[in-house]
């Protein structure tokens, strides 16, 4: 077995996490969360989204979040941008990194953003071009890489095709997302190996949801392929443990615990990370989705 | 990567799971659970314990459980036995397989069973001898194999020593238990590799608790060593998700989901398994500790 010496974690809790929580978290709390995550040593923290608040009310106020955030040198605060209007908002807010997103499933693309995969990529091209011209970095997401709620199976070649298009547009990194959390370790690993035929593995990141409890095992299986960038959300944000059927993103705490236990550096302070996660779980009025966080709460007197 | 074609699951929910739940489950429900697990295709189901009910009240009534159980041909119903009195009860109840348990940590052994590791093994020797003479099969557990709540680190050589003693006594299989769930994948794998120097890997089983969310990833890391027997508990029994710090055994549902997704056969019907888990979770008045079970509940109309 061969693992990377260091893994870079992309913390998606304040965006992908909170946008899937039933409660709208106030701007001040979102700022406090992002600052706590930076203080814990995370160096890439998704700060919000310039999707219409009509569709994603949880991300309303992203401008205010960015305006009041005390930025730490060396930390990136990427923001999700769906189109040119979103890019204008990002430029006005002084954002230096954006993320765009495509689906690997035609049915999901049509239901989620109301156009085909090819049309969505055509729409992103000018967004990416303008962002790069403005000196921004651009990250690409591919969703439904291990399964689609409407189509079921998704072909690895289809994922590779979308990833390659995003890379060709100029995305410096492509994050492969198992949006519905159905994948298992060998599927995940085979997917990465297939996509790496078209996009260098050094430009790939992985994004697992823990819906079926597979997120950490999938991560482990893929680390041996050379991928060294993993998305995760503090407190497993993105699904309330009380709600039926809902489990969120891979919990950053559980990922850090595993990586440190394997001698893989992350630069993250687990104590501070747990404190940040406990804070946001308390705000949401629910237990943390991280088992490490819960275990450490139990150890306290 | 090389994985076994088939994994045998040892279902420990009705014993290791329920004995660590705060609620005492009635005999009739325990019988119904064991029968539902057998109907789901599990072929080795821990049915109870002949430890004193003074110490483990949850396992009181194990005789009644065994007496009213409709036994399925080909299914084993092992029972935990701590000493000769326990063996007498097992013999009287018509038990055909027992399990004995030693710790790999001196401090844990002294606190848990009030004697040194060597003394505990000396006590087990006549139990195992008499059980074998009576035609029983005997399984050995080693606890604290990846960490001790009192000592911290546990040396793999110490685990190997206890495992080898139990194997030499005549235990057909040795289950290595991460009792406090602190281990991570490479530690787990290195441990198995070390123990396999003294006990053939075909006689080893693994027993992970999900306290720190590592159980499934640890299992995955160890399957490549050739281990093909995994202990798990339906609904992740053994710790209430509401309680601080408590996470139970690796959930059988999540294990089966991973294995089937990897093309590894288990003989278990996941639908029936989830139904058994949902039933016992409802009895305990708490959500299932299995993410697969929760995801499938969410899918139902």
Q: What is the pLDDT of residue A287?
A: 87
pLDDT in tens, B186-229: 999 999 999 999 999 999 999 999 999 999 999 999 999 999 99
Q: What is the CATH number of the domain that holds A290?
A: 3.20.20.70
The maximal CA–CA distance of chain A, rounded, in angstroms, is 56
Cross-strand bridge partners of residue B98? B79, B138
Q: pLDDT exceeding 70 applies to what percent of chain A?
A: 96
Residue of B nearest to A251 (CA): B213
Q: Which of A247, A295, A298 to mutate to test the interface with B (most CBs of B within 10 A)?
A: A295
Retrieve residue A169's tokens: 């547009």
From B246, B291, B294, residue closest to A298, measured CB to CB: B246
Residues 6+ apart with CB under 8 A from B3: A186, B223, B224, B262, B264
Tell me the C-alpha distance between A59 and A15, whole Å. 7
pLDDT above 50 for A68: yes
pLDDT above 60 for A290: yes
Domain count, chain A: 1
- Three-class secondary structure of residue A120 per DSSP: helix
Residue A105 lies in a domain: yes
Backbone angles phi, psi at B174, to 5 degrees: -120, 120
C-beta separation of A234 from A253 below 8 A: yes
Tell me the C-alpha distance between A183 and A159, whole Å. 14
Retrieve residue B301's tokens: 């109309």
Residues B236-249: what's their mean pLDDT?
Answer: 68
Q: Mean pLDDT over all residues of chain A?
A: 94
Retrieve residue A32's tokens: 């406090």
Q: Mean pLDDT over all residues of chain B?
A: 94
Tell me the nearest-neighbour CA distance from A210 into chain B, angstroms: 8
Retrieve residue A268's tokens: 């993250």
- Three-class secondary structure of residue A154 per DSSP: coil
Q: Which of B22, B186, B250, B261 to mutate to test the interface with A (most CBs of A within 10 A)?
A: B261
B246: pLDDT confidence band, cut at 50, 70 and 90?
Answer: low
Q: What is the pLDDT of residue B300?
A: 54
Residue A156 lies in a domain: yes
pLDDT in tens, B281-293: 999 998 899 999 9
- Residue A4, CA distances (Å) to A176, A225, A250, B199 in order: 18, 9, 19, 31
Q: What is the pLDDT of residue B301?
A: 45
B251·A292 Cβ contact <8 A: no
pLDDT in tens, A135-168: 999 999 999 999 998 999 999 999 999 999 999 9
Retrieve residue B248's tokens: 């139970």
For the entire predicted model, the pTM comes to 0.95
Residues 6+ apart with CB under 8 A from B298: A243, A244, A245, A246
Tell me the C-alpha distance between B217 and B213, whole Å. 8
Cross-strand bridge partners of residue A79? A48, A98
A295·B245 Cβ contact <8 A: yes
Q: What is the pLDDT of residue B299?
A: 64
Residue B1 lies in a domain: no
Residues 6+ apart with CB under 8 A from B65: B14, B27, B30, B31, B34, B47, B48
Domain limits for position B252: 8-299
pLDDT above 50 for A77: yes
Retrieve residue B291's tokens: 């993410």
Residue B2 lies in a domain: no
Helix (H) or strand (E) holding A100: strand A97-103
B244·A297 Cβ contact <8 A: yes
Residues A256-284: what's their mean pLDDT?
Answer: 97
Q: What is the pLDDT of residue B128?
A: 98
B240 in catalytic set: yes
- Three-class secondary structure of residue A79 per DSSP: strand
Retrieve residue A232's tokens: 């995760």
- Residue carrying the six token digits 């949850």: B58
C-beta separation of B209 from B181 below 8 A: yes
Q: What is the pLDDT of residue A259?
A: 98
Tell me the C-alpha distance between B157 and B199, whole Å. 12
Sign, Cα dihedral of A148, A150, A155, A158: negative
Q: Which of A212, A290, A298 to mutate to test the interface with B (most CBs of B within 10 A)?
A: A212
pLDDT above 90 for A262: yes
Tell me the C-alpha distance between A40 and A34, whole Å. 10
Q: What is the pLDDT of residue B298?
A: 75
A298: pLDDT confidence band, cut at 50, 70 and 90?
Answer: confident
Other Cβ atoms less than 10 A from the Cβ of A6: the count is: 11
- Tell me what ipTM this predicted complex has: 0.94
Tell me the C-alpha distance between A137 and A125, whole Å. 14
- Three-class secondary structure of residue A19 per DSSP: helix
pLDDT in tens, B160-174: 999 999 999 999 999
pLDDT in tens, A163-200: 999 999 999 999 999 999 999 999 999 999 999 999 99
- Would you state the torsion angle of the CA atoms of residues A244, A250, A251, A254, taken in this order, to the nearest 10 degrees? 120
Please state the separation of Cα B88 from the chain's center in Å: 22
pLDDT in tens, B83-139: 999 999 999 999 999 999 999 999 999 988 889 999 999 999 999 999 999 999 999
Give residue ranges of A with CB < 8 Å to any B CB.
1, 3, 181, 183-187, 189, 210-214, 216-217, 219-221, 224, 241-247, 251, 254, 257-258, 260-263, 287, 290-292, 294-299
Give chain A positions within 8 Å (CB) of B241: 241, 287
- Three-class secondary structure of residue A76 per DSSP: strand
pLDDT above 50 for B263: yes
A301: pLDDT confidence band, cut at 50, 70 and 90?
Answer: very low
DSSP per position, A160-211: HHHHHHHHHHT-SEEEEEETT----HHHHHHHHHHHTTTS-GGGEEEEEB-T
DSSP per position, chain B: ----SB-EEEE-IIIIIGGGSSSPPPHHHHHHHHHHHHHTT-SBB--EE-S-TTT-GGGTTHHHHHHH--PPTT-B--EE--SHHHHHHHHHTT-SEEEEEEES-HHHHHHHHSS-HHHHHHHHHHHHHHHHHTT-EEEEEEE-TT-BTTTB---HHHHHHHHHHHHHHT-SEEEEEETT----HHHHHHHHHHHTTTS-GGGEEEEEB-TTS-HHHHHHHHHTTT--EEEEBGGG-SS-TTSTT---BPBHHHHHHHHHHTT-B----HHHHHHHHHHHHHHHTS--S-HHHHHHHHH--
């Amino acid at each position: 077995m061969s693992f990377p010496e260091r893994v870079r974690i992309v913390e998606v809790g304040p965006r992908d996490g909170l946008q899937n929580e039933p409660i709208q978290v106030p701007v001040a709390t979102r700022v406090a969360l992002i600052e706590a995550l930076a203080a814990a040593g995370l160096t890439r923290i998704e700060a919000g989204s310039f999707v219409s608040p009509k569709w994603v009310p949880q991300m309303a106020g992203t401008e205010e979040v960015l305006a009041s955030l005390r930025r730490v040198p060396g930390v990136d605060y990427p923001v999700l941008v769906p189109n040119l209007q979103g890019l204008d908002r990002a430029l006005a807010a002084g954002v230096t990194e954006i993320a765009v997103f495509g689906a690997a499933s035609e049915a999901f693309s049509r239901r989620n953003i109301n156009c085909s995969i090819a049309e969505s990529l055509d729409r992103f091209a000018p967004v990416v071009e303008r962002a790069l011209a403005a000196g921004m970095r651009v990250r690409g997401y591919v969703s439904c890489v291990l399964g689609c709620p409407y189509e079921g199976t998704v072909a690895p070649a289809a994922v590779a095709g979308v990833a390659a298009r995003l890379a060709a547009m100029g995305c410096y990194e492509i994050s492969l997302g198992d949006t519905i959390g159905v994948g298992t370790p060998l599927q995940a690993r085979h997917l990465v190996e297939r996509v790496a035929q078209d996009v260098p593995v050094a430009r790939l990141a992985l994004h697992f949801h823990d819906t079926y409890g597979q997120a950490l095992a999938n991560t482990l299986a893929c680390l041996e392929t050379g991928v060294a960038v993993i998305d995760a959300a503090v407190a497993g944000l993105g699904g309330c443990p009380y709600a039926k059927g809902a489990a969120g993103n891979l919990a950053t705490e559980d990922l850090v615990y595993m990586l440190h236990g394997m001698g893989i550096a992350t630069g993250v302070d687990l104590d501070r990370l747990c404190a940040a996660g406990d804070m946001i779980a308390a705000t949401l009025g629910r237990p943390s989705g991280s088992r490490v966080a819960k275990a450490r709460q139990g150890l306290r007197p």
